[in-house]
Amino acid sequence: MKLGRLNHIGVATPSIAESIRYYREVMGATKFHEPFDLEAQGVKVCFVDTPDAAGELGKGTQIELIEPLGEDSPIAKFLEKNPAGAQHHVCYEVEDIEDARKWFEEMGKRILGPTRIGAHGTPIFFLHPKDMMGQLTEIMETPKGDAHWSN
């Protein structure tokens, strides 16, 4: 397994609309994707594009704003502890999700749930923060073509 690029940083928020305002007015962000419901994971998602090292907007690491769809959403309890919102996870790309899962399992890392389809339409899984230097870590298969930028 070989670590790929940092795909996105997940930020839990009680309001995507308020977070968009913050990133626009405070951080100077200009490119926001249309928010959409990811019902299988109990969240609404909105990606914010950042520039890459050359300054090209939309090719850098994204910010994934995640808002709970209801009280039973996996991030609802996280927001109870962080009512203003906070960084929730980091997401790294890998070439082959099954190879990566096997790699982490062989190392004894705790994988949270089955491999499933994430917000970019590619397979993902999460690793327990206690095994990952205190960070909830998402591993995602590198999107093919322009799937990363289509949401």
Q: Residue 88 in 3-state DSSP?
A: strand
Angle at 68 between CA 66 and CA 69, to 5 degrees: 120
Q: Residue 36 in 3-state DSSP?
A: strand
Distance CA 119, CA 102 (A): 22
Q: Among all chains, which residue has been given the structure tokens 């070989």? A: 2
Amino acid identity at 138:
E
Residues with Cβ within 8 Å of residue 98, at least 6 apart in sequence = 115
Q: Which residues are catalytic?
A: 138
